[in-house]
Amino acid sequence: MSFEPKRATMAGFGVKLLDETTWPEFARLVERHNGVWGGCWCMAFHAKLTGQNRSEKERRVREGHAHAALVYDDAACMGWCQFGPTEELPRIKHQRAYREGLVALPDWRITCFFVDKSYRGRGLASAALEGALEEIVRLGGGTVESYPEDVEGRSTAAAFLHNGTLSMFERQGFRRTRRLGKNHWLVSKVLPTNGQPAD
């Protein structure tokens, strides 16, 4: 199933969901970047890695067990934001620090972003985040967590910001919960249920 965002993104990109109809465009983007991060295929946060990341990712997509908001420039997919229920994405970085302060698991996680190297710095990751949040609302809302990087006051290559930036999440109303590692934060937000106000 694909959709257009409720409003145009700041950069004028279109957003669709990752599913069996958009898999070919997603796969072309990943293949163009040699599997992304050493052949990850956006599998690192799923339950188990088999070493066959491409085929396993495609299987999950076709079975409805992988979620992402894909950002398009015309007909070409140029980036994504991966999200999903916590049980779908159980593997996160900084696990020890995360477990030490854990009170309750969230309903949803936003785990990673990727943007084509020729589109970085153009607001595409923000458009992907916006699309992911809209879809989470459509799917029932609830508590959403993510683990972005604070880059204020230091230089960081965009290619390595696969968790997104703290400022990008704060612009969407996420609040800092606690620090995870030197430069990462756990942030959270409660999204409304099917368009109803959040408590």
- pLDDT tens-digit readout, 23-52: 999 999 999 999 887 889 999 999 876 778
Report the pLDDT averaged over residues 108-129: 94
Across the chain, what does the average pLDDT equal? 87
Amino acid 3: pLDDT: 40
Report the pLDDT averaged over residues 148-177: 82
Q: Look at residue 28 and tell me if it is in a domain.
A: yes
Check whether 96 has a pLDDT greater than 60. Answer: yes
Q: Look at residue 23 and tell me if it is in a domain.
A: yes
Q: Look at residue 128 and tell me if it is in a domain.
A: yes
Check whether 7 has a pLDDT greater than 50. Answer: no
Q: Look at residue 165 and tell me if it is in a domain.
A: yes
Amino acid 25: pLDDT: 97
Amino acid 156: pLDDT: 62
Amino acid 69: pLDDT: 98
Name the band, by pLDDT with cuts 50, 70 and 90, for residue 8.
very low
Q: Look at residue 197 and tell me if it is in a domain.
A: no
Report the distance separating Cα 133 and Cα 3, nearest Å.
13
Q: Look at residue 46 and tell me if it is in a domain.
A: yes
Q: Which amino acid is at 82?
A: Q
Q: Look at residue 4 and tell me if it is in a domain.
A: no
Question: Lowest mean pLDDT: which of 14-23, 89-98, 190-199?
Answer: 190-199
Report the distance separating Cα 190 and Cα 160, nearest Å.
27
| Total number of domains constituting the chain | 1
Find the length of the chain: 199
CATH number for 44:
3.40.630.30
Name the band, by pLDDT with cuts 50, 70 and 90, for residue 5.
very low
Check whether 53 has a pLDDT greater than 60. Answer: yes
Q: Look at residue 199 and tell me if it is in a domain.
A: no
Name the band, by pLDDT with cuts 50, 70 and 90, for residue 173.
very high
Amino acid 158: pLDDT: 54
Question: Lowest mean pLDDT: which of 93-102, 139-148, 154-163?
Answer: 154-163
* Assessment of whether the complete model's pTM goes beyond 0.85: yes
Query: In this structure, which long-range contacts are made by residues 83-88, counting pairs with CB atoms below 8 Å and at least 24 apart in sequence?
Result: 83/108, 83/109, 83/110, 83/111, 83/132, 83/135, 83/136, 83/144, 84/108, 84/109, 84/111, 85/109, 88/46, 88/47
Residue by residue, DSSP assigns 147-168 as --B--TTS---GGG-TT-BHHH
Element (H, E) at 72: strand 67-73
Amino acid 181: pLDDT: 84
Residue-number span of the structural domain to which 19 is assigned: 14-191
Contact 198, 190 (CB under 8 A): yes
